[in-house]
Structure 1
């Protein structure tokens, strides 16, 4: 396993990050311990979760327990890490709706303080390594949110914070606010980024590269389409895992081209897709939501692969003419 330095923190994180969004569904509660243990054995020291993962209806799928009968992913993760917590860098998030109340969401001081305590309790730890604002909150001034994170860092409840799904201008504004007020600045951004969906390249990646923030990419295999074309035979694939849509014909066509190139190079589709992403400027790690130990092993191998310049150019050219995905 290879490692990257997270932003300007000096903390080294594995190039492959274990995602836990579907913990309790796939893998189920019984298998989650094995997946986490296998990740640690492979050298993966970076784990991503959130206060809304696992037990929300959006993760429902046939054959899985109902949302009301599932534990939160944070709770499952905390139990799996018992006795090994200090071996990992844990990232979690808050913002999403976690209850029926009108204030049970957002990035207000009230909500963040409540949710950090919930996350700490669920995972059985007294600190979070990296705490993200899961999405922008138009109802709360960014200055207030950053002040809360600064307080939590000074209290020792979080070590660093990041911004997830925030546009480049808002990330830059956060850096300006932190500098102006002598507060801690964000260390990382989390965003959807892969060979098919490259919208992060337009503004966010250049901003992160210029200002020293790391990008932690989610959906690096585009819902499994860039992992193995056999995903097309599954009943639940792509964003259907989160109550979204399946794959478009244009996306499938790109994946088939990447698969053809991968075979010519003697590599697997998932290895090539992840290796390309990890070669991009500012990308520190890719979050892989492995549902089985076999999937985890297959994806972890990509961290050790270096594609040459001609291979990277061939992959980049596949969608370079597509405005929405270039």
Structure 2
């Protein structure tokens, strides 16, 4: 496993981040524990979750499962960079959601209890809250940092302008500010290149790419309907992208590599990318993707991938002179 700095910090995280969204609702506790153990053995030190994850088991279920795994062997806590998120609704209560200072504080305390830890390494805002002013957000995050409950702050699914605004406020107050953005980014979905990636690079913010396999499309999900995004959603996307996916599969065959490995390796070749999140449902799925960081793609292959899945480019040049 290879490691990269998390944005402009000195913290080193693995190029593969283990996403846990399936743990509990779709993956049994026993198999989730096996995947977590495999991750540690493979050198994956970056684990991502969210307070809302739990699906049919209810919000918070995935954090509780992770807490049980960490409690099973307390030495595991010091071996992982633990990340979770705040924003999504946790109940019907009108204030049990969003990025108010009150909710950030309460949600962090609840996540700490479920995870069974005294601090969270990376606390991420799961989505933009347009009602929350930057001053309120930083007030809450500053307090959590002062209390020793969180170490770094990140965003997720933020537009470029919000990343810039938050970091400008942070810099004005001599804070470290955001250190990473978790963004939807893959060969099929490249709109992050317009403004999100340039904003992150300008502010020294690491990018953690979620859905690196485009919901399974880049790993053949259209022919293997066992993934979380199976059914009509995958069939529709596969139909729209049929030509490009066929060309991609043919290129991977010529390379003698599995499409999923090539898709993740491509991400890790992109400027500003810190890590790619893989969210396996099964242990064998996770094992199959661990070789991606070691797969080097030459300039010819990267150019061919750009021809199949054209780049968006940076704004405004992508759509104006």
* TM-score, scaled relative to structure 2: 0.91
Q: Deviations over 1:53-103 (max 9, x none)?
A: 12x3xxxxxxxxx435x8611111121233211100011001000011111
- Cross-structure match for 2:14: 14
1:226 aligns to what SS in structure 2? helix
**TM-aligned CA deviation for residue 255 of structure 1:** 2.3
- Cross-structure match for 1:41: 41
Q: Structure 2 stretches of 5 or more lacking a match?
A: none
- Cross-structure match for 1:74: 63
2: CA distance, partners of 1:246 / 1:178:
43
- Cross-structure match for 2:2: 2
- Cross-structure match for 1:63: none
**TM-aligned CA deviation for residue 31 of structure 1:** 1.3
- Cross-structure match for 2:299: 309
- Cross-structure match for 2:170: 178
- May I ask how many residue pairs the two structures share in their alignment? 310
1:146 aligns to what SS in structure 2? helix
Q: Which residues of 2 match residues 28-177 of structure 1 at below 5 A?
A: 28-54=28-54, 56=55, 66-68=56-58, 72-82=61-71, 83=74, 84-177=76-169
- Cross-structure match for 2:210: 218
RMSD, aligned CA: 2.0
1:130 aligns to what SS in structure 2? strand
Q: Deviations over 1:113-147 (max 9, x none)?
A: 11101111111110101001110111211221122
Residue pair 1:168, 1:207 contacting (<8 A) in 2 also: yes
Residue pair 2:167, 2:177 contacting (<8 A) in 1 also: yes
Residue pair 2:99, 2:137 contacting (<8 A) in 1 also: yes
**Given the superposition, is the C-alpha separation of residues 184 and 299 from structure 1 closer, same or farther in structure 2, using an over 3 Å criterion?**
same
1: CA distance, partners of 2:222 / 2:70:
33
Q: Which residues of 2 match residues 245-324 of structure 1 at below 5 A?
A: 246-248=235-237, 249-320=239-310
Q: Structure 1 stretches of 5 or more lacking a match?
A: 57-65
